[in-house]
Amino acid sequence: MSSDPAASAREPVSESARDSVSESAREFVREHTAVAPVPFAPEISLRVAPEAIPLWELTEQVTGEIGLPPPFWAFAWAGGQALARYVLDHPELVAGRTVLDIAAGSGLVAVAAARAGAARVVANEIDVYADAAIAINADLNGVTVERVLGDLLGTDPEADVVLAGDVFYSREMAGLVLGFLRRAHDRGALVLVGDPGRAYRPKEGFAEAAAYRVPVNADLEDAESKPTTVLRMI
């Protein structure tokens, strides 16, 4: 990754500003990933990092920052895999509707929604490399996904369906996402979350829609698979 200020965009970034950094981000994504089917949704392929730790270390070397979170965009997280599976198996939930994939990472869930027949799919990220990965992965799977780079969590969502894969991994993120999802739900959206029992998963406000055991990256998760649920906000 680079130290480019747009690498983590807290303010919404205009399309022209995004496109000016986008090409180098796309090159970085292509250079450090390979195409592989998603273990729990093999009808979708993504560009993922063959090994987690070397890419993680490389991002720390390139940015000069220690203690960075993993390059989220380079993996299909358990929550995203479960949610993608659920959407692919229940296309009626998104077909013909406007869908927002918040904190989209690789874009896996957005791609699944587009595959399942959503009329319009928007994927949101604050990480310019994730934004690049989403564009690449949408092309790879032959679907159209619009991208919004910047922090939407303080805004009012307008989509018919809001999807969030693996977002309860930190207290701060969980708090911000929950407020956003609650506002979406109150405006009438269907809100679905995929979660493998992360530390800040809320204890109430959701009903379990599906439960799976999802294969995960052992380098990142210390396990070969994780029990993972799809939660519907109530």
Ligand X SMILES: C[S@@+](CC[C@H](N)C(=O)[O-])C[C@H]1O[C@@H](n2cnc3c(N)ncnc32)[C@H](O)[C@@H]1O
Site residues for ligand X per CB under 6 A = 72-73, 76-77, 79-80, 103-106, 108-109, 124-127, 130, 151, 153, 165-166, 169, 173
Q: Which residues fall within 8 angstroms of residue 110, CB to CB, at 6 or more apart?
A: 99, 101, 104, 121, 122, 123, 134, 138, 145, 163
- Toward ligand X, which CB reaches closer, 74 or 93? 74
How far does Cα 133 stand from its chain's mean position? 10
Smallest distance from ligand X to CB 152, Å: 6
Q: Which is nearer to ligand X, 93 or 174 (CB)?
A: 174
C-alpha–C-alpha distance, residues 134 and 187, integer Å:
27
Minimum distance of ligand X from residue 150's CB (angstroms): 8
Residue 93 or residue 230: which is nearer to ligand X going by CB? 230
Tell me the residue number closest to ligand X, measured at CB: 80
Residue 70 tokens read as 């993993």
Between CA 214 and CA 221 the distance in angstroms is 12
Q: Which is nearer to ligand X, 126 or 138 (CB)?
A: 126
Minimum gap (Å) between residue 45 Cβ and ligand X: 14
**Min CB(119)–ligand X separation in Å:** 21
| Shortest separation between residue 106's beta carbon and ligand X, angstroms | 6
- Cα end-to-end span (Å), the chain: 38
Instruction: Report how far apart, in Å, the C-alpha atoms of 58 and of each of 4, 70, 105, 136 are.
Output: 16, 11, 18, 21
Give the residue with the Cβ less far from ligand X, 98 or 200.
200
**Total length of the chain:** 234
